[in-house]
C-alpha cells in the first residue's frame, strides 16, 4: 500500500503555519467483482458485470495547537496530493480533547479472514456462479415466479492501521455475498469471507421460494389487538439489535440521550430479563463480521455488553472511552458475530404451534423513525404471514406496536431457532393491526 508519500507529508507539511503533532491512519485497498440480475436479466446495462478496485485512507490528525481533524482521502489524493489533503484537513480542524488520542503498539490476534476461492472470484473467475444461477432459474420456473432480481459479489483486500505512536498492523481478507428477491416481494441472501457452501445455498434458496409462494397467497388476518407475534431473525437484526446497540453506543451513553445511564454499567440491577445477554466475537473464522483490529487500532476480541440482563459496558471507540473513563472495546462487525442470547430456543414448528392465531413478521419498515431511547415502536409490517391452525396460511399486511424494553423484560418472550440463521427469532405477545 503506497502510503509513504502521505506519511512524509504528515511530518513535513505545515498548512496555515501548523504542524501535525500526532496522527493515525487506517488505509485499505480492495479489488472486486459484482454481477447483478434485474428482472431475470443477468448483467444487463442496468446491472452490468463490474470489476473494480479502490484505495483510500481514513485519518485522524492532532495538530500542534491540540485541534483535531478527521476525514477520508481517496487513492488519488493519498498518493498524489498529500499537501492538499492536509490543507483541507487543517481548514476543518476543531477542538475536541477527547478525540485527540491515537493508539500505540498492541498485540493483534490471528483471525482467518482470507479464502483463496473467494479471491479468485473477486478477480473475475465467475465459473462458480454458473451452477448457482442455473439453480435459481430452476426455482423460478418450478414456482412460476414472474420475475427475480439479485446480485453476487466478491472482494479481496488489504488494510493497514498505523500511528505516530508506533502502531502498525495489517490484515488481508476476502468477502463474498449474494442476495435475491422473487417477484419483487421477499428477499434473502448471505455474506461471509468465503462463498456459502452449495448445499447451504440451495437450502436457503428453497426456503426463500417457499416463503415467496406463501406471500402470493392472501389469508384472513387475525382481529386487531394483542396476539402472538413471531419476529423473523432479519427483523431482530434490523430492529431489535440496532435499537440495543444504538442505546449502548458510547456517544449515546455519554450524552445521556438513550435508555441507559453511565451508572447502570457494572451495577447489579438488571435492565432486561435476567437470562438475556448480548455479546460479540469477531475472532470467529471467516465470518463477515470478523476482523483483526478496528479502524482506530483496537485489537479484536470477544466482548460482552449485556449479561444476565445486566449492563456490562458500552460500545466504546477511543473518543468516548476517554470521555467515560473506560477502556475502548471491539466494535460489532456484523450479525454473524453478534449473539443475542436467552432461554433455550424453540424449534420453528413448536413456535408456530404457540403462535396460532397470530403472525410471523418477515420484514418491517420505519425502523429509523422509532424512538430508540424509550423503546416504543410502531412498525409497518407489509410482509407478514398469518399463522393458522395448520401453520403458515398466507399473507397479511399490518402494523405491530409496543415497547421493546417491555418485551425484553417479559417472561413471555421466547427465542426461536430458524434454520440457516445465527440470530434467533423472537416470539411474544404484541399488538397487531391489520390493514
Residue closest to 187 by CA, chosen among 162, 215, 159: 215
H-type helices in 65-166, by residue range?
A: 75-80, 82-91, 116-122, 127-143
Confidence (pTM): 0.94
Grid look-up 421477499 returns 186
- Position 185 scores a pLDDT of 87
Q: Strand, coil or helix: what is 71? A: strand
Buried b (16+ CB within 10 A) or exposed e, 347-379: ebeebbeebeebbbbbbbeebeebebbebebeb
Instruction: Point out which residues pair with 20 in neighbouring strands.
Output: 63
Residue-wise pLDDT tens digits, 3-23:
666 776 776 778 888 999 999
CA gap 325, 328 in Å, rounded: 9
Task: Give the pLDDT mean for 24-44.
Answer: 92
CA gap 399, 55 in Å, rounded: 44
- Residues 6 or more apart whose CB falls under 8 angstroms from that of 5 comprise 78, 79, 82
Of the pLDDT bands very low, low, confident and very high (cuts 50, 70, 90), residue 45 is confident
Of the pLDDT bands very low, low, confident and very high (cuts 50, 70, 90), residue 73 is confident
Task: Give the pLDDT mean for 91-96.
Answer: 96
- Position 1 scores a pLDDT of 46
Task: Give the pLDDT mean for 31-41.
Answer: 93
CA gap 291, 249 in Å, rounded: 19
Q: Where are the beta strands (DSSP E) in 222-372?
A: 225-231, 277-280, 303-307, 310-311, 338-341, 359-365
> pLDDT over 90 for what percent of the chain?
88
CA gap 296, 278 in Å, rounded: 23
Could you tell me the end-to-end alpha-carbon distance of the chain, in angstroms, rounded to an integer?
55
Residue-wise pLDDT tens digits, 301-360:
999 999 999 999 999 999 999 999 999 999 999 999 999 999 999 999 999 999 999 999
Task: Give the pLDDT mean for 200-217.
Answer: 96
Residue-wise pLDDT tens digits, 142-176:
999 999 999 999 999 999 999 999 999 999 999 99
Mean pLDDT of all residues belonging to the chain: 94
Q: Strand, coil or helix: what is 155? A: strand
Q: Strand, coil or helix: what is 211? A: helix
Residue-wise pLDDT tens digits, 170-184:
999 999 999 999 999
Residue closest to 27 by CA, chosen among 236, 293, 231, 277: 293
Element (H, E) at 158: strand 148-163
- Position 13 scores a pLDDT of 73
- Position 80 scores a pLDDT of 67
CA gap 27, 291 in Å, rounded: 15
CB 321 within 8 A of CB 250: yes
> Domains plus CATH for the chain?
4-211 (3.30.2290.10), 212-239+343-434 (no CATH), 261-340 (no CATH)
- Reply yes or no on whether the pLDDT at 119 is more than 50: yes
- Residues 6 or more apart whose CB falls under 8 angstroms from that of 66 comprise 21, 95, 97, 100
Cα 18 → chain centroid: 39
- Position 112 scores a pLDDT of 98
CB 205 within 8 A of CB 152: no
Residue-wise pLDDT tens digits, 357-381:
999 999 999 999 999 999 999 999 9
Of the pLDDT bands very low, low, confident and very high (cuts 50, 70, 90), residue 84 is confident
Which grid coordinates belong to 291? 476482523
- Reply yes or no on whether the pLDDT at 202 is more than 80: yes
16: left (phi over 0), alpha (psi -120 to 50) or beta: left
CB 328 within 8 A of CB 317: yes
CA gap 292, 108 in Å, rounded: 6
Instruction: Point out which residues pair with 361 in neighbouring strands.
Output: 231, 384
Amino acid at each position: 500500500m503506497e502510503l509513504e508519500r502521505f506519511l512524509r507529508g504528515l511530518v513535513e507539511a505545515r498548512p496555515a503555519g501548523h504542524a501535525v503533532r500526532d496522527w493515525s491512519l487506517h488505509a485499505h485497498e480492495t479489488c472486486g467483482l459484482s454481477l447483478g440480475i434485474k428482472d431475470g436479466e443477468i448483467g444487463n446495462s442496468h446491472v452490468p458485470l463490474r470489476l473494480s478496485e479502490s484505495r483510500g485512507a481514513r485519518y485522524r490528525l492532532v495538530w500542534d495547537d491540540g485541534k483535531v481533524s478527521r476525514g477520508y482521502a481517496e487513492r488519488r489524493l493519498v498518493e498524489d496530493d498529500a499537501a492538499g489533503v492536509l490543507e483541507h484537513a487543517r481548514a476543518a480542524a476543531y477542538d475536541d480533547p477527547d478525540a485527540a488520542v491515537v493508539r500505540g503498539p498492541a498485540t493483534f490476534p490471528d483471525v482467518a479472514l482470507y479464502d483463496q476461492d473467494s479471491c479468485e472470484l473477486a478477480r473475475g473467475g465467475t465459473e462458480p456462479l454458473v451452477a448457482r444461477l442455473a439453480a435459481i432459474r430452476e426455482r423460478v420456473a418450478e414456482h412460476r415466479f414472474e420475475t427475480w432480481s439479485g446480485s453476487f459479489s466478491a472482494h479481496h483486500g488489504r488494510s493497514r492501521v498505523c500511528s505516530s505512536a508506533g502502531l502498525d498492523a495489517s490484515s488481508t481478507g476476502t468477502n463474498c455475498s449474494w442476495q435475491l428477491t422473487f417477484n419483487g416481494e421477499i428477499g434473502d441472501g448471505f455474506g461471509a469471507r468465503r462463498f456459502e457452501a452449495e448445499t447451504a445455498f440451495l437450502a436457503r434458496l428453497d426456503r426463500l421460494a417457499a416463503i415467496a409462494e406463501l406471500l402470493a397467497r392472501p389469508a384472513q388476518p387475525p382481529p386487531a389487538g394483542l396476539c402472538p407475534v413471531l419476529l423473523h431473525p432479519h427483523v431482530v437484526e434490523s430492529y431489535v439489535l440496532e435499537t440495543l446497540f444504538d442505546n449502548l453506543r458510547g456517544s449515546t451513553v455519554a450524552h445521556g440521550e438513550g435508555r441507559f445511564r453511565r451508572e447502570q454499567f457494572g451495577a447489579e440491577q438488571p435492565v432486561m430479563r435476567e437470562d438475556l445477554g448480548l455479546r460479540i466475537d469477531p475472532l470467529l473464522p471467516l465470518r463477515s463480521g470478523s476482523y483483526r483490529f478496528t479502524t482506530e487500532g483496537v485489537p479484536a476480541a470477544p466482548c460482552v455488553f449485556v449479561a444476565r440482563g445486566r449492563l456490562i459496558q458500552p460500545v466504546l471507540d477511543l473518543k468516548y472511552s476517554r470521555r467515560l473513563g473506560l477502556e475502548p472495546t471491539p466494535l460489532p462487525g456484523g450479525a454473524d458475530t453478534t449473539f443475542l442470547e436467552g432461554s433455550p430456543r424453540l424449534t420453528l414448528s413448536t413456535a408456530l404451534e404457540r403462535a396460532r392465531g397470530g403472525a410471523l413478521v418477515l420484514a418491517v419498515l420505519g425502523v429509523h423513525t422509532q424512538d430508540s431511547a424509550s423503546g416504543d415502536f410502531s412498525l409497518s409490517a407489509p410482509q407478514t404471514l398469518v399463522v393458522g391452525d395448520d401453520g403458515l396460511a398466507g399473507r397479511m399486511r399490518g402494523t405491530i406496536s409496543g415497547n421493546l424494553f417491555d418485551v425484553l423484560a417479559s417472561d413471555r418472550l421466547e427465542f426461536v431457532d430458524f434454520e440457516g440463521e445465527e440470530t434467533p427469532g423472537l416470539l411474544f405477545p404484541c399488538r397487531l393491526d391489520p390493514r
